[in-house]
Amino acid sequence: MLVAPLLLLLALAVLQVALAMHVRATLTSAAAEGARAAALAGADPAAGVRRTRTLLAENLAGSVGDTVTAHRAVVGGLAVMTVRVTAVLPMLGMLGPQVLTVEGHALQEEA
């Protein structure tokens, strides 16, 4: 009698984790692609933001990606482009993280 509700709860929890992992992978991929677009010779950080927003709009609901920023940095003596995406996770209930921040990096090309 109590087995069916427990199995349903378990199935919903697995579905929730799968959805969160999909969103995380999509955000990471879009950030990395945006960093590559902004790291091209002659490109500016705004190109990476535009590319990232385009990919997120094509792959996820528009309200998921809240903030997309891009900036240049120096890591280990190398110029890199970093794109950071902060998004709200579509979680059922209040369990787990509500906000996720991911970054994508690419080596800056020289002109």
Q: Is the pLDDT of residue 93 over 70?
A: no
Digit-coded pLDDT (tens) for 45-81:
999 999 999 998 888 766 666 799 999 999 899 999 9
**Which of the two residues, 35 and 89, has the higher pLDDT score?**
35
Q: Count CB-CB contacts under 10 A for residue 38.
A: 26
**Considering the entire predicted model, what is its pTM?**
0.85
User: Could you tell me the two tokens for 79?
Assistant: 């110029």
